[in-house]
Amino acid sequence: MTSVLVRERPGFVWAAPAAVFFGLFGIVPIVVVVYLSFTSWNGLGTPEWVGTQNWSALFDDGDFPSAARTTLYLTVGSWLVQTPLALLIGVWAAGHQRFRAVMSTIFFLPLLLSTAAIALVFVSLLDPNFGLAAIWGKYIGVPDGNFLGDPSRALPAVVFVVAWQFIPFHTLLYQAAARQIPGMLYEAAELDGAGRVRQFFSITLPQLRNTIVASSVMMLVGSVTAFESVLLLTNGGPGNDTKVLPLHMYQQGFIAFDMGYASVLAVLLVIVGTVLSVVVVRSTGYHRMTSDREGL
């Protein structure tokens, strides 16, 4: 029996193409980016070794602290806006209200639009001359309708657009998870006299714990590295007010062609990504989740 089964076992050759392919585009670049961070390179010629020059430039880069702050603002702001809303709407959509099906379908539609499409639609909507912002701005205390071009309003506007794009997705996750909560938990709570709010905090929230963790981690990792929305909405402006770290890196590398210094910023992004990923693995636990799904 054993000899028969051994013959069946697939060898490394089955995994080799995928591993080589991913190694070439995923792992090798990390080594290369560390090397490039010690070189001077304009994107065309050959990178030249300059030692730690790029790394010390980090301390003289006035844009770096503000880019780090903006990234933190965008990340925390996105989480604070998206999580409560997605949770509320998701739990609501898991219920049996009238019009629920129709509204859920509408809620879902932004998912069909690409990041670029959503960003550009909002550039038009928030246009201070012809957009909706010009007409409705005065009702929310912005008479000139200037959102994306105003230093104090640009970043909240970016948070809003990113939320518009991603809340549907997280709502979907919460909706699916809330439907899995056994109804008898609520019946028992009702018999014990627990009200609607008490039920939400004592049953719904604890039951959704895993979903909240997973959805939050996805939001956080996504926001730290997201720069496409910012690029298309404001290109970092006005001034540097919405410039996030990945955008700063992109501009240093592909606009200013200082690939060496951009690589320093890239290495920092790898570090942040890795730290967050450790949080992913620790908090959700891949193997535990596998067993969770069995029998579903």
Partner 1 sequence: MSTSVISRPETATATGPERRRPRRRRRNPNVPGGIAAIVWFLIVAIPLYFIVVTSVRTQEAYVSDGPLDLPTTFTLKNYTNVIDLGFGTFLLNSVIVALATVVVVIVLALPAAYAITRGRSRVVQYAFTLFLMGLAIPAQAVIIPIYLLITRMNLYDSLTAIVLPTAAFTMPMAVLVLTSALRDVPNELYEAMTVDGAGTAMIFRRLVVPLSRPALASIGIFAGLNAWNGILFPLVLTQSPDQRVLPLGLWNFQSQYGTDVPGLLAAVVLSALPVLALYLFGRRQLLSGLSAGFGK
> Which of positions 189-228 make contact with partner 1 (CB under 8 A)?
190, 195-196, 214-215, 218, 221, 224-225, 227-228
Q: Write down the least CB distance from residue 65 to partner 1, Å.
A: 19
Size of the residue set binding partner 1 (CB under 8 A):
115
DSSP label at 256? S
| DSSP symbols for 113-171 | S-HHHHHHHHHHHT-TTTSHHHHHGGGGT-TT--STTSTTTHHHHHHHHHHHHHHHHHH
CA distances from 109 to 86, 162, 218, 222 (A): 15, 15, 20, 20
Q: How far is CA 168 from CA 87, 95, 112, 128, 252, in A?
A: 11, 17, 10, 27, 33
Interaction between residue 186 and partner 1 (CB under 8 A) = yes
* Contact between 270 and partner 1 per CB under 8 A: yes
Residue 253 is a binding residue for partner 1 (CB under 8 A): yes
If one asks whether residue 169 binds partner 1 (CB under 8 A), the answer comes out as yes
- Residue 3 or 152: the one with the smaller Cβ distance to partner 1 is 3
Q: Are the CB atoms for 233 and 122 separated by under 8 Å?
A: yes
Residue 51 binding partner 1, by CB under 8 A: no
Query: Site residues for partner 1, window 67-126 (CB under 8 A)?
Result: 85, 88-89, 91-97, 103, 106-107, 109-117, 120-125
Judged by CB, which is closer to partner 1: 37, or 155? 37
The residue behind tokens 């996030």 is 244
Out of 74, 81, 158, 259, name the contact with partner 1 by CB under 8 A.
259
Q: How far is the CB of 241 from partner 1 (least distance, A)?
A: 20
Name the token pair of 168: 């549907």
